[in-house]
Homo-oligomer: A and B are copies of this chain.
Amino acid sequence: MVKINENYLKLPGSYLFSTIGKKVNAYIQAHPDKRIIRLGIGDVTQPIAPAITYALHEAVDEMGHKETFHGYAPDLGYGFLREIIAKEDYAARGCNISPDEIFISDGAKSDCGNIQEIFDESCRIAVCDPVYPVYVDSNAMAGRTGEYEEETGRWSRVIYMPCTAHNHFVPELPQETPDLIYLCVPNNPTGTTLTRDQLKVWVDYANQKGAVILYDAAYEAYIAQDDVPHSIFEIQGAETCAIEFRSFSKNAGFTGVRLGFTVIPKALERGGVALHSLWARRHGTKFNGAPYIVQKAGAAVYSEEGKAQLKEQVAYYMRNAKTIYTGLKEAGYEVYGGVNAPYIWLKVPEGMTSWEFFDRLLEEAGVVGTPGSGFGPNGEGYFRLTAFGTYENTAEAIERMKKMPSLKK
């Protein structure tokens, strides 16, 4: 008789965004006349840039002709894409990453979820709290996280690193020694970052302990300040302790196009084995490459036109971030993030939980955000708004929030 993977049964409730979806649908049913503004899920709204749709059309035409048709892609990605990434994202920032240390995939979520497979079941993970739920959930499914404690909202074997206003959202080195350290910088959900010096502390720590840092840099395009590194490989020593995940979702609007990549330096070894070879085997066995047309679109992101168009797109969203940030400040909120990231992290009014604030915001302003507690226990009391809406909607949402009756003092 087949036994199922019982680790799945330990996972609490349903996924954060499904719950939000259900609440929003219930609201829409009850108030068909009200216009909802969604600043909840981190999905983009601007269309794919012209330089990229042009590349997509060209690639589709290639696929339609015998002479230029492309079948199976190379397992680890097309050379044309890996080379331009190595040049533009790494060499240009002084990082020594070669094209064959870059693995093209269908997105950072897949890679972040799958990477744990190449490590032993016994590995202990450390995560920032709050953080993007995929790191913990994917390890819970693999049986690495122990038991889930309903009351605290924590797993018994996970090392949580609180990131709150108290420590300026900079995780402290943990008491217990982790094997795998997930860092998401710029952070989802708090929108905060680490400086070069702050990140160097982690790189040194990981090298000293033999730990591996799993560095999710999906929001790197939004970094505006000079002392914030765009890649962990800007930090000396990272090549022997870090794996980096990158995405085209937020810098190029590819949430529905699907493309990402993972960088594993060949110098990164544990137990005498190159992690690069393990991930190559995983990729070759359980993945069949990202679509040719999508990889061509990825290359267009780095063309001169593509870069110019995407710079505008990022600026558009950052204008939203500023609108939210300053608007909420004016309304008397404590606000974080929004400077190097498309996320704004606000403290909910005293005496309210994150979900209570979610309900009030939806009910009174028709605005959808994301409750901080959905990202971990230390997210309780906070709330995430994203800058990915249209400018008009974003500005209106802030006006509506300023007028919320329950928040008037």
Contacts and interface: CB of A to CB of B under 8 A. Distances in A.
Interface stretch (A92-100, A191-199, A281-289): A281-289
A69 B41 contact: no
A120 B3 contact: yes
Interface in A1-41: 1-6, 8-9, 11, 15, 18, 41
A352 interface: no
A294 interface: yes
A48 B72 contact: no
Given A1-B179, A3-B119, A46-B69, A114 B210 contact: no
Given A53-B63, A64-B53, A66-B47, A180 B2 contact: yes
B134 A285 contact: yes
11 contacts: A1-B270, A1-B271, A2-B210, A3-B270, A4-B119, A5-B120, A45-B66, A47-B65, A109-B286, A113-B287, A258-B288
Nearest to A258: B291
A403 interface: no
Assembly of this chain: how many copies? Answer: 2
A9 B281 CA distance: 10
A291 B113 CA distance: 18
A64 B43 contact: no
Contacts of A201: none
* Interface band, chain A: 35 or more
Nearest to A53: B64
A270 B286 CA distance: 25
A392 to B, nearest CB: 12
Interface in A114-165: 114, 117-123, 134, 137-138, 141
A63 B257 contact: yes
A209 B69 contact: no
Nearest to A124: B2
